[in-house]
Amino acid sequence: METALKAIAAPRRRQILRLVRDHELSAGEIALHFDVTRPAVSQDLTLLKEAGLLDERRNGTKRLYRVRPAGLKDLRAFLEEFWDPRLDALKLEAEREEKRKDGNDD
Amino acid sequence: METALKAIAAPRRRQILRLVRDHELSAGEIALHFDVTRPAVSQDLTLLKEAGLLDERRNGTKRLYRVRPAGLKDLRAFLEEFWDPRLDALKLEAEREEKRKDGNDD
DNA sequence: ACCTAATGTCAGTTGTTTCTAACGTAAGAA
DNA sequence: TTCTTACGTTAGAAACAACTGACATTAGGT
């Protein structure tokens, strides 16, 4: 969770998340959007992946990334609780709800 | 906003925000909760203040801190929009609503 | 005036992040 | 097997953040 919070604290990483919010993009395509070198972006991707915010899929020599909704959801939930800890009860209920629906990713 | 995001990415600073969520505390009282030196905490307080997340009030030789709800609200709004940019319209409406109510701090 | 309490500020050290250039690797085409 | 494409990984530099100990400041008490 710590990692995720730090991950979204950097503008470029937030931008990356936005880029792969709805469609997959390859590492190279992502890198094209920024003026740092490709390895720099690659490191951001690794960090985001470790934070559980990104999914990676390999296709041939390419690596395709996209947002991992569950990760985003967890981060959101953590923050919701942070703003107001009294939401605990509601949160637990929502989780029970989630389990019932099974595999829904918000 | 950048500052605020970085501010809450550190556990001790989140803890500080929790401590002064409902009641004011002096710098010294806050520092007692942690095992780093007082200056370290003081720097955290400065950072949080700069991020707009903390209000400072002086009383004699003491400085009393408490959460600044407006700052927290802005940060929240920023994140809401980040999770789902389609909320723009709703957000603007909410802001209009805020202005109407004038000075309400959530 | 002098003292104490409560706190901020500064300089310097250490630790962490971020970046680039160079190198390594794995997939597929020729 | 050799070449190319699309990547990740590493080493080292540079920038940044976090601490601590020492000092400065400000309010009030005696």
Q: Chain A within 8 Å of B5 (Cβ-Cβ)?
A: yes
| CB contact (8 A) between residue B5 and residue A2 | no
* pTM for the model: 0.86
pLDDT at A100 over 80: no
A101: Cβ contacts below 8 Å, ≥ 6 apart: none
Q: DSSP string covering chain A, please?
A: -HHHHHHHTSHHHHHHHHHTSSS-EEHHHHHHTSSS-HHHHHHHHHHHHHTT-EEEEEETTEEEEEE-HHHHHHHHHHHHHHH-GGGHHHHHHHHHHHHHH-S---
pLDDT at A102 over 80: no
Helix (H), strand (E), coil (C) string for B15-62: HHHHHCCCCCEEHHHHHHCCCCCHHHHHHHHHHHHHCCCEEEEEECCE
Report the pLDDT value the prediction gives residue B86, as an integer from 0 to 100: 75
Partner-chain residue, chosen from A2, A14, A72, that has the shortest CB–CB distance to B11: A2
A38: Cβ contacts below 8 Å, ≥ 6 apart: A27, A28, A31
C8 C1' to B1 CA distance, Å: 24
Q: Chain A within 8 Å of B105 (Cβ-Cβ)?
A: no
Q: How would residue A89 be classed by pLDDT, with cut points 50, 70 and 90?
A: low
B83: Cβ contacts below 8 Å, ≥ 6 apart: A72, A76
Contact B30, B65 (CB under 8 A): yes
| CB contact (8 A) between residue B14 and residue A83 | no
| CB contact (8 A) between residue A82 and residue B14 | yes
Give the DSSP letter of residue B63: E
Average pLDDT over residues B49-67: 97
Q: How would residue A36 be classed by pLDDT, with cut points 50, 70 and 90?
A: very high
> Distance of alpha carbon A46 from its chain centroid, rounded?
11
Q: What does the mean pLDDT of chain A come to? A: 88
Q: What is the pLDDT of residues B16-48, one digit of tens each?
A: 999 999 999 999 999 999 999 999 999 999 999
Q: Indicate if CB(A42) is under 7 A from strand D.
A: yes
Residues from chain B that touch A14, judged by Cβ atoms under 8 A, are 82
B47: Cβ contacts below 8 Å, ≥ 6 apart: B3, B7, B13
